[in-house]
Chains A and B, each alone.
Chain A
Amino acid sequence: MIPTRHAGPVAAPHAASAGTVPRVMLWVSAALLPATLFGFWLYGWPAVHLWWVTTGSAILGEAFCLRLMQKPVAPVLRDGSALLTGWLLALSLPPWAPWWAGVIGGLFATVIGKQVFGGLGQNLFNPAMVARVMLLISFPVPMTLWTAPLPMLSANAPGFVDGLRITFGTLPATFDAMSSATLFGYARSELSRGVDLLQSLAATQAPTISLLGERAGSLGETSSLLIAAGGLLLLGLRIITWHIPFAMLATIALFASLMHGIDPARYLSVGIHLLSGAAMLGAFFIATDYVTSPNTAVGQLVFGAGVGFLTYVIRTWGGYPEGVAFAVLLMNALTPVIDRYTRPRIYGRDRRGAPLEIDP
């Protein structure tokens, strides 16, 4: 029998730090809020509706599983992790994606991505990314249908009700004209048409990388700077450490500058790689997921570098324009191995665990 704190005498330590799981999740949510609100403004009501449909489904999925296993529901939901999973998924979807994408994705994330493995802390793969990739593979068309920004208060922007009708699929044709491509998608399709980047990016219809992110993409992709600001907040609060974001972004930057330097007509620049697309969201919020990333500093550096490298490779040579989700999942699979080979050295022992030589 394993003793718990509640059976028998209470054991040391008789003190605890202020950190709790709900507190962690709360701060991560807070860090996501600016970028999310900005995305809401940029893409209007449909984005808002997709967000609550997705997070709601994720929470429902979790509650359903807990019910099924006759575990207490309320305390687990209160830890906020299901909300966060749904939220991250919503940020990675096309903002005008239909409601069923949010529902299927949200349920899949918590039911298959998390609870099937045994709940919080047991899953090997990042649940939000599992759902994202499942949706992309199963429904490639709606999952790559991006909308040009249509800020909330601008003239043609759909109102609350029209937003609902867009999300729930009863108002399709009218807004077709505004579909657009992400920068990576555009560059890739132009390249495949034989137009090199120097020309295609100079063309008038080319998506720009404005720092604020007024361009097509998912909620979490467009406002890279706000995402990065949220990430810095988490770093400042020591909720995450710098190792994964730094290693991931540095690796992407390294390869991008190398390849761009070799052939700017074929390879996108560092700035585009870091600021357009999900690099920031991935680096600060997704790859840093506690459960699915290594625990030691060295392991995290290896992991982050791996995610960065795979992201670059998939973006540049792979079958999809964006590769963060795949890269994260692939490295998730390697996490146990990385953990095994990057164990910290134990005090008084060498790396292999043998006692140090006595040296008086």
Chain B
Amino acid sequence: MERVPSPGASRFREASIAGTWLWLGLFALLPNLVLLLVAFLDRDTVGFFIPSLTLDNFRELFAPVFLGVLWDSIRLALCSTLVCLLAAYPFAYALAKAGPRLRPWLLLLVIIPFWTNSLIRTYALILMIGAQGLVNKCALGLGLIGAPLELMYTDFAVFAGMTYTFLPFMILPLYASIEKLDPGLADAAKDLGAGSLRTFWHSTLPLTLPGVVAGCILVFLPSLGSFYIPEILGGATNMLLGTFIKNQFLVAKNWPLGAASSSVLTLLLVLLAVLYRFTSQRAAGGYNAPLNARRDGE
């Protein structure tokens, strides 16, 4: 028998779904569409843009200047994503397997930085790696180095800043996917002759891949688009994508080019979202499988 929801409840459901769609449409879809539109318009130094269609802005994305910026940004974002992943996986695993007494404290270690303003955390990093920072003082004090290391205003500083800032975004989705993993599966793999390493490779990793991909998206995209971290910690030498986009809008007053270059980020986001869907379907054994197949053969 079908359960018939009361008309009041179904109207409430429809209203809340409609509200969500309205919100998403107004504040997510519409601005992106406007941005996309602007990317096809001509620039105007006074009035931001002229309503005449052109592909010039996209052509400029293939200029060596922009490709250089893009390449540097992607490389840096990939590095910090990789380091975040390598650091976060063991931690998330320990978190998921921790006893009920230890777990809240470990979670707190992740949540506190997660809730702290990331600008403040970036400035805090200066206290650590600046010329007079903790790292240099300790190394000097221990006699490991003769003069303070120049860590600030380098690619390394930017890389460290991104890794540090976005680490919680990697830990939380990983934790969520490891936590809901059936521990019986690892037992089954061991029972069938897989050692710890092969158990991880054949069972744990493929089943937590959605968490890995989600975490990588949540670190990679903000790393790619971030402009305050390179600006506070980085040198003047290498411009990164986030700064480039920001400059187009606020400094060079070239809105169409800014819009075109930020659409690169949107495109990447879409590609990664598709990848995420694919991996989570595989881990669940395929969503598209016909469920009525359950009935034959019995």
Q: Do A and B come from one complex?
A: no
Residues of B within 8 A of A (CB): none
Residues of A within 8 A of B (CB): none
